[in-house]
Structure 1
Amino acid sequence: MQKLNLPNNLEIYCLGKEETEYIYQEIFIEQQYLQHGITINDGDCIVDVGANIGLFSIFLSQLHKSLKILAFEPVQPIFEVLQANVNLHSLDNISLQNYGLGSENISETVFTFYPNMAGNSTTRPLEKLAQREVMDQALNQDMVEYLFQSQEVKGEIKTLSSVINSLAIESIDLLKIDVEGEEYEVLRGINQDDWTKIKQIVLEVHDVEDRISQIKTLLESQNFQIIVEHNNLIPPTLKIFNLYAVRN
């Protein structure tokens, strides 16, 4: 864990400087999660799935002081940095959950943890091969090897509906999902009775095995209006998109 001062003078704990600066650009400068009709209002309940070190939750807390944010991060070394950042900025509106969300409750599963690009940590390391091929062409080999250093860690998965039930969540004003390939599984973990509680969704989609089509079909069946666009900070050869869904 290291401390970093971001360009807006925000002090932050992080694991990898390079990735943290990229995420800062994505969240604070381009505000990619607040586009295409996604709105945040005072008093909203935000569910941040794949919170990583907490930049999105911190960004929202700076915009609105009265938000209730539930931040989910299953990888223990990343969760410790998330916890340190919440404590550093005394953000008592953020409730931290040290587990991930998926299609079923799993007491123990294996994550591939990348210490130098923690936000890419995943249960689907094979999907990272395409990303590595692109980075091999853009970066020197030493940097690629540095970024892709990895280790396996164990973590817990729960369904969103089980969390809604256990925490007595009445409404989710924004469901943000960035889970490196498990985004469809997170949505599958929502029971039919709970869908009406969710007003807006923004998620990063890794379009492998027709994942965008699956997600669009599911969300359209739940009466969401959808916009999909490629993440402009990522090379077009990588099929990584942002999907915005607002309830009709």
Structure 2
Amino acid sequence: MTPLRYVELEAGFGCYVPQSTSGDTAEIGFIHDEIFHGNCYLQGGITLGGDAVVVDAGANVGLFSLYVKTRYPKARVLAIEPMPATYAALEANLGRHGCLGVTPLRAALGARAEGEVAFTYFEDLPGNSTRYPDLKAEVSRLPGTAAEREYRERLFATASEVRMPVEPLSAVLARTGFTGPIDLLKIDVEGAEADVLAGIAETDWPRIRQVVLETQHDGPRIRALLAARGFSVTAARPEGVLAGLDIETVWGRR
């Protein structure tokens, strides 16, 4: 098992991340800033009550789950993460911060049940690990200096294969006891967002009150799907260098 490293992110707050050969921690700093300072998921009219039920699909090391619990201590969260090393960090972070009411689950989500499926794990960029590594190849074409391009390519070069079964979200909800209303479904699964939505059974869609997801290239299709399901949909694209990757954050509200 990959050892963990503790990273101080701001005064009095930090988290565990999978140890890497380079020791680079830029990714977790970026994710922390997006969630805790940029409030990236709870925009677009998304609101939560004190006893909210949240499904965190693509929980990574648990920062969004921690963010929800710090603001809504009575919230109940299902935190789903497939990568073994990242999942170990998720469990360690929930324990360190005393997060009661968060159910961690190591599972990979998709449109339907499948056997052993290949995922690509990036040692230096675990939050970018994906079933669709071709999407990450686009990063090499982003603008920047030669040194910046070399740095990005080096981080993505630390790739290895992880194989595990895939399950539809509805099957996971049923076996974990999340059977009531879902106040927020957050999906950030590095290219498989449309797959996760396809894995929601017809009987489960009415339970979902709000959705937020980050997607690459699938924005128009996902916005149309959510609108057809009765959601009011808004979306935004990142600024700066990431604008060249056709990424959208999409928010949907009943």
> Could you say which TM-score interval applies, normalised by the shorter chain?
over 0.9
Note the C-alpha offset of 1:144: 2.4
Indicate whether 1:25 and 2:28 are aligned: no
- Stretch of structure 1 that moved more, 113-122 or 145-154: 145-154
Indicate whether 1:14 and 2:17 are aligned: yes
What RMSD over aligned residues (CA atoms) do the two structures have, in Å? 1.6
Indicate whether 1:175 and 2:185 are aligned: yes
Indicate whether 1:163 and 2:172 are aligned: yes
Note the C-alpha offset of 1:157: 1.7
Give the ranges of 4+ consecutive aligned residues of structure 1 lying more than 3 Å apart after TM superposition: 135-142
Amino acid of the structure 1 residue aligned with 2:160: Q
Would the aligned equivalents of 1:74 and 1:157 in 2 still touch at CA under 8 Å? no
Sequence identity of aligned pairs in percent?
A: 32
TM-score (norm 1): 0.93
Would the aligned equivalents of 1:52 and 1:82 in 2 still touch at CA under 8 Å? yes
**1:112 paired residue among 117, 120, 137:** 120
Would the aligned equivalents of 2:140 and 2:153 in 1 still touch at CA under 8 Å? no
Q: Which residue of 1 aligns with 2:195?
A: 185
Structure 1: 5+ residue stretches without partners: none
Would the aligned equivalents of 1:234 and 1:240 in 2 still touch at CA under 8 Å? no
Q: Which residue of 2 aligns with 1:101?
A: 109
Indicate whether 1:40 and 2:48 are aligned: yes
- Stretch of structure 1 that moved more, 155-164 or 93-102: 155-164
Note the C-alpha offset of 1:153: 0.9
Would the aligned equivalents of 1:26 and 1:233 in 2 still touch at CA under 8 Å? no
Q: Which residue of 1 aligns with 2:21?
A: none
Q: 1:223 to 1:138 in 2, by over 3 A?
A: farther
- Stretch of structure 1 that moved more, 104-113 or 198-207: 104-113
Amino acid of the structure 2 residue aligned with 1:221: A
Partners in 1 of 2:127 and 2:236 — Cα distance? 20
Indicate whether 1:230 and 2:240 are aligned: no
Q: Which residue of 1 aligns with 2:247?
A: 240
Note the C-alpha offset of 1:143: 2.4
Would the aligned equivalents of 2:55 and 2:185 in 1 still touch at CA under 8 Å? yes
Would the aligned equivalents of 2:52 and 2:72 in 1 still touch at CA under 8 Å? no
Would the aligned equivalents of 2:86 and 2:126 in 1 still touch at CA under 8 Å? yes
Would the aligned equivalents of 2:140 and 2:149 in 1 still touch at CA under 8 Å? no
